[in-house]
Copies of this chain bind each other. A is one copy, B any other.
Amino acid sequence: MKQTRAFIPTLKEVPGDAQIVSHQLLLRAGLIRQVAAGIYTFLPLGKRVLEKIETIVREEHAAIDCVEMFMPVLHPKELWDQSGRWDVYGDELMRMKDRHGRDFAMGPTHEEVVTTVAKEYLNSYKKLPLSVYQIQTKFRDEQRPRFGLMRGREFIMKDAYSFHATDECLDEAYNGFVKAYNNIYARCGLDFRMIEADNGQMGGSGSAEFMAIADVGEDTIVYNEEGTFASNIEVHDLQVGDPSPDGVGVVKHAKGIELGHVFKLGTKYSESMGGFFLDENGEQKPYIMGCYGIGVSRIMMAALEQRNDENGIVWSKSLAPFDLHVIPVDVNNTEQLAAAEQVYADMKAAGFDVLIDDRDERAGVKFKDADLIGLPIRLTIGKGITEGMVEFKNRQTGESQDVALADLKDFVQAQYDALT
């Protein structure tokens, strides 16, 4: 992609309202822009990162036979009345009335809708188990939206739901999701922990939370004397090494960013919403459910919080919006521009996603932007091209060296394969 057409509005200054590094980088590297408090546009670079995350999520869900669907944003109030959540969810549930005055919730989560859609079909034990997911825009009217994509009011989530005839079958699916979640966060290049969690408003009989280790975040992670995980608590003034106020252990990570959740829901929704099946003996039973969420846009935030230096973002190979950044130092120099365009074409032909900085800007501006955007490999075509040399730079290690054009493709491939 040509940078002149790519809409990457980088910022030199740190925006005043962005307090944490990931939020600053989201704005400075041109990944997102705020439209209203807690409501953002994903610019092209940010959209590409979302796509990378979503592809990983899709692959790992396909691997556990969880099938993708797509449910609506607007949920009729009647469904939320059946589950009892219309009255208890509080101000965080966004609500609207249609032109006829009918009430709708704007989905923060889809238990009501998925149970309603599934119950027509799941009338027999023969149809169970079933496991479905969607990747979709969710809404939650946070009292104080903050930290960019961490506490937004409109955000992208993957939510999955499973349906079972027995507790054992639920356990098996739950364990499958736990494995898939570990794979997803690892492939996204995150330093994370799986920990037990409170169920909050969801209700149920077993759950775990996945947390990215970070200097920011809203949870404190506590370990017991054996050094294994004990709890995570919402106490924000603890430091690493402090004993926890409940006496359950010692603070190991002062802060964590919640990345996802797995829940055993039990029969709360199937019983309240009429989700019943006939078992082998012709007996009517509510099916047993699980639900499993991942904050897709929040993964981007956590990755930025963990992977940056003083010059900008240091993307993992898996989430980088492009693999390579090709930079002709002077686009008015015919030789440099022609060589850069050839390198661009060759690298695309080799299967890389390539961004070429074809802007008529000073070299310093281009290099600063390249470091800020943080693509894993930078190929600079400058004066050295008269001797057939290109400058290679590894954004992850900071190492750079000159490489002969003739060797470039093999060299880049080997270096790229060695990246994390």
| Chain A residues within CB distance 8 Å of chain B | 1-2, 4-7, 9, 33, 35-36, 39-44, 46-48, 50, 65, 67-76, 79, 91-92, 94-96, 98-99, 102, 104, 106, 113, 116-118, 120-121, 126-127, 130-132, 134, 137, 139, 141, 143, 153-154, 360
Alpha-carbon distance between A153 and B99 when the two chains are bound, in angstroms: 11
Instruction: Provide a sorted-by-A list of 22 A–B residue pairs whose CB atoms are within 8 angstroms.
Output: A1-B65, A5-B65, A5-B130, A7-B67, A7-B132, A9-B121, A35-B71, A36-B72, A36-B75, A36-B104, A39-B74, A40-B72, A46-B70, A47-B69, A72-B137, A73-B73, A74-B139, A92-B99, A94-B96, A95-B96, A96-B96, A98-B141
In the complex formed, the residue of B with least CB distance to A113 is B35
Known contacts A98-B141, A126-B360, A137-B137; is-contact A39 B6 (Cβ 8 Å): no
Instruction: Give A168 Cβ to nearest chain B Cβ, in Å.
Output: 18
Contact between B94 and A132, CB atoms less than 8 A apart: no
Contact between B99 and A143, CB atoms less than 8 A apart: yes
Known contacts A98-B141, A99-B91; is-contact A73 B5 (Cβ 8 Å): no
> Which of these, B92, B102, B106, B130, contacts A96 with CB under 8 Å?
B106
Instruction: Give A57 Cβ to nearest chain B Cβ, in Å.
Output: 14
Instruction: Give A273 Cβ to nearest chain B Cβ, in Å.
Output: 13
Residues of chain B within 8 A of A4, CB atoms compared: 127
> Which of these, B6, B41, B67, contacts A117 with CB under 8 Å?
B41
Instruction: Give A366 Cβ to nearest chain B Cβ, in Å.
Output: 14
Alpha-carbon distance between A68 and B321 when the two chains are bound, in angstroms: 12
In the complex formed, the residue of B with least CB distance to A156 is B70
Nearest 4 Cβ contacts at the A-B interface: A96-B96, A9-B121, A42-B70, A91-B99
Contact between B69 and A36, CB atoms less than 8 A apart: no
Known contacts A68-B44, A74-B154; is-contact A120 B7 (Cβ 8 Å): no
What is the count of identical protomers in the complex? 2
Most B-side CB within 10 Å, residue of A50, A72, A121: A72
Known contacts A41-B113, A117-B35, A154-B74; is-contact A67 B5 (Cβ 8 Å): yes
* Given A35-B71, A41-B117, A47-B134: 16 more A-B contacts, CB < 8 Å: A1-B65, A2-B65, A5-B130, A5-B131, A9-B121, A40-B72, A41-B69, A41-B71, A42-B70, A42-B71, A43-B69, A44-B69, A73-B139, A74-B139, A94-B98, A137-B137
Residues of chain B within 8 A of A126, CB atoms compared: 360
Known contacts A44-B69, A94-B98, A106-B96; is-contact A116 B35 (Cβ 8 Å): yes
Alpha-carbon distance between A41 and B72 when the two chains are bound, in angstroms: 6
Alpha-carbon distance between A137 and B39 when the two chains are bound, in angstroms: 15
Residues of chain B within 8 A of A96, CB atoms compared: 94-96, 106
Instruction: Give A318 Cβ to nearest chain B Cβ, in Å.
Output: 19
Instruction: Give A195 Cβ to nearest chain B Cβ, in Å.
Output: 30
Instruction: Give A363 Cβ to nearest chain B Cβ, in Å.
Output: 17
Alpha-carbon distance between A75 and B34 when the two chains are bound, in angstroms: 11
Contact between B99 and A141, CB atoms less than 8 A apart: yes
Alpha-carbon distance between A262 and B21 when the two chains are bound, in angstroms: 41
Alpha-carbon distance between A76 and B127 when the two chains are bound, in angstroms: 45
Instruction: Give A247 Cβ to nearest chain B Cβ, in Å.
Output: 37
> Which of these, B35, B104, B106, B360, contacts A76 with CB under 8 Å?
B35
Alpha-carbon distance between A43 and B113 when the two chains are bound, in angstroms: 12
